[in-house]
Amino acid sequence: MDFALSDEQKQVRDEVRHFANEEIVPVATEYDTEEKFPHDLVEQAAELGIVGANVPLEYGGVGYDYLTNILIVEELFAADPGIGLSISSAAFGADALVAFGTEEQKEKFLRPVAEGDAIMGSAISEPDVGSDVSSVATSAEKDGDEWVIDGNKMWITNGSVGDYFVVVCETDPDAEGRYNGFSQIIVESDRDGFSAEKITGKLGIRASDTAELLFDGVRVPEENLVGTRGAGFLQLMQFFDETRTAVAAQGVGIARGAAERALDYAQEREQFGQPISEFQAIQHKLADMHTQTEAARQLTYKSAWSVDHADDDLTQLASMAKEYASRVAVDVADEAVQIHGGAGYVNDFDVERFYRDAKITQIYEGTTEIQKNIIARELLGKGMV
């Protein structure tokens, strides 16, 4: 067992940290306040290989393993979760293309994302489809050599800025079994009948774009089908373990960002003639925050390691990491505001934003409750729930 990162992983981490501190931190409040998508930063990050870090080299990515990818996510989120998500989600859905896409699809859709010329997204949720992902109602019907798509997708990250989306559609309503009959289809945002409505007023991650997608008889060529018709759901589920591990890393980043800022503030702020870090009550908070963050990080690393080594316990670990790290993010951000007192209640200090941003990690990619269902299911040896 080896707990050390490789020299190369440390270099990646340090350089992404350098980039995040120089380029993201100074503008984070502005993008949060204005709910503005950071186009330039996403492009710059893509040029540095941050967006396509785990896209294979032959398609313009860097071909890094999942653990290295996770280090990048932590760094971005420790700087700012909203801009961090904008950057790390620019390749949402790319996993499916890497695993199941044809050579043409990879050239056409993967390379532009890895090289910063396109943004993509992954559209699963619908107004009536949240935790129960198997009830997708957006339909795709075959008409000659085209798919005709009708329906709505809700809460789609990059919805109004994305160039194309991997959309989960029902293609074979008569298929037997709850998880059969769905397919993943690529839909470009410039197709007739496609529209996106940006959702504003989010509690946190406000730089990140979220939208509702409307498909009104959208026609795409049949070669936009990803992988096997009818197996879309099974294809999708292969990546839940990865995407959940990524959200765990988001939680670790948020917790670390909040904990570091609280540590700095506690040493500067003086009351009763001494820095508040001299009070044991504050010291214990800081100790707990950093301990929880490190524990969440180790669970997340183990989950990422399991992705890279195809470990049997991966599904359970990914849900444990996601659930725990997101809880730690929320708790640590809460304590960070507490340590800042009144100053933490306004956006002069970053912890106010981290406090709002943290919550999303308990909701998307499967809520806390769903993660616990999965962990229990794995423990009790039950089938899919």
Partner 1 sequence: MKVLVTVTDVAVVDDEFEIDGLDVDERYLTYELNEWDDYAVEEAVQIAEDVTDVEVVTVTVGPERSEEVIRKALAKGADRAVRVWDDAIAERDLLDAETKAELLAAVAREEEPDLILSGVQSGDDSFAATGVTLAEKLGDEWAAVVNQLDLDQDEGLASVHRELEGGVDELTDVELPAVLTIQTGINEPRYASLRGIRQAQNKPLDVKSLEELGLDGSALESPLRWTATYEPESEGEATVFEGAPDETAGELAGVLRDEGVGQ
Ligand X SMILES: Cc1cc2nc3c(=O)[nH]c(=O)nc-3n(C[C@H](O)[C@H](O)[C@H](O)COP(=O)(O)OP(=O)(O)OC[C@H]3O[C@@H](n4cnc5c(N)ncnc54)[C@H](O)[C@@H]3O)c2cc1C
Q: Return the active site residues.
A: 365
Nearer to partner 1, 62 or 168 (CB): 62
Residue 83 touching ligand X (CB under 6 A): no
In the complex, minimum distance from the CB of residue 62 to partner 1, in angstroms, rounded to a whole number: 5
Residue 87 touching partner 1 (CB under 8 A): no
Residue 47 touching partner 1 (CB under 8 A): yes
Q: Are 173 and 134 in contact (CB under 8 A)?
A: no
Q: Are 66 and 308 in contact (CB under 8 A)?
A: yes
- What Cα–Cα distance (Å) separates residue 117 from each residue in 36, 62, 67, 100, 107? 19, 16, 25, 22, 13
What SS3 state is found at 130?
A: coil
Identify which range of 14-22, 163-171, 219-227, 300-308 contacts partner 1 by CB under 8 A. Answer: 14-22
Residue 49 touching partner 1 (CB under 8 A): yes
Residue 19 touching partner 1 (CB under 8 A): yes
By CB under 6 A, name the one of 143, 216, 222, 369 that touches ligand X.
Answer: 369
Residue 63 touching partner 1 (CB under 8 A): yes
Identify which range of 45-53, 179-187, 338-346, 376-384 contacts partner 1 by CB under 8 A. Answer: 45-53
The item of ligand X, partner 1, none sharing an interface with residue 62, based on CB under 5 to 8 Å by kind, is partner 1
The item of ligand X, partner 1, none sharing an interface with residue 124, based on CB under 5 to 8 Å by kind, is ligand X
By CB under 6 A, name the one of 155, 194, 233, 354 that touches ligand X.
Answer: 155
By CB under 6 A, name the one of 124, 247, 318, 332 that touches ligand X.
Answer: 124
Count of residues near partner 1 by CB under 8 A: 16
* Stretch (H or E) spanning 173: none
The item of partner 1, ligand X, none sharing an interface with residue 231, based on CB under 5 to 8 Å by kind, is none
Helices 240-268 and 81-88 sit at what angle, rounded to 10 degrees? 150
Q: Residue 28: exposed, middle, or buried by beta-carbon count in 10 A (0-12, 13-18, 19+)?
A: buried
Residue 211 touching ligand X (CB under 6 A): no
Residue 8 touching partner 1 (CB under 8 A): yes
**E-strand stretches of the chain:** 120-123, 139-143, 146-157, 164-170, 182-188, 194-198, 210-221, 225-226, 270-271, 274-275
Nearer to ligand X, 180 or 373 (CB): 373
Q: Please, what's the largest Cα pairwise distance for the chain?
A: 79
Q: Are 277 and 266 in contact (CB under 8 A)?
A: yes
Q: Residue 192: exposed, middle, or buried by beta-carbon count in 10 A (0-12, 13-18, 19+)?
A: exposed
Residue 53 touching partner 1 (CB under 8 A): yes
Q: Are 377 and 368 in contact (CB under 8 A)?
A: no
Name the token pair of 231.
């197996």
Give me the residues that bind ligand X (CB under 6 A), please: 121-125, 130-131, 155-157, 202, 210, 360, 363-364, 366-367, 369-370, 373
